[in-house]
Amino acid sequence: MSSETTLILFKPDAVAKNLTGQVLARFQAKGFIVRGIKMMHLSDEILAEHYAHIATMPFFPSVRSFMQETPVIALALEGENVIAEVRDLLGPTDSTQAAAGTIRGDFGFKDADAKMRNVCHASDSQEAAAAELKRFFGEGEIFAY
């Protein structure tokens, strides 16, 4: 295994419920290293690009509205097999299906109608991570030390 970097977005539900520190602590407890972190408001343009796979769906306006309820926190996280490991730590996208002990199982909404309210977005592949990191971090905003 080699080291890789992934994108995590702390979604508005995590920000509003003040869960970001607890979730970040779980990532760091696994030995992952923060390489970049910032709070930002998401524009319509960045959301249309990030959610291009659903941007034409009738439910996209509600996704956009949710993602703009509060600022989000973008996190560049590095570690061995970090992409798969983070997704395992988070649990299934649908928090109602997430087991206790996973981040979504412990902190996600348990309302089947609130599937987007699942604490974090995490890149699902190295290719997605590379594109997403460029989307949310500019030149010089991801650090190696």
pLDDT at 98: 93
Per-residue tokens: 32: 């992952």
Is 144 part of any domain? Answer: no
Please answer whether residues 50 and 43 qualify as being in contact, where contact means their C-beta atoms are separated by less than 8 angstroms: no
At 100, the pLDDT band (50, 70, 90 cuts) reads: very high
Mean pLDDT value across residues 82-97? 95
Domain that holds residue 84: 3-136
Catalytic residues: 121
- Give the Cβ contact number of residue 10 at 10 Å: 23
Q: What is the number of domains present in the chain?
A: 1
pTM of the model: 0.94
CATH code, domain with 62? 3.30.70.141
Residue found under tokens 């419920």 = 17
Mean pLDDT value across residues 70-90? 98
Is 145 part of any domain? Answer: no
- Give the Cβ contact number of residue 29 at 10 Å: 9
> What is the spatial distance between Cα 24 and Cα 28, in angstroms, rounded to a whole number?
6
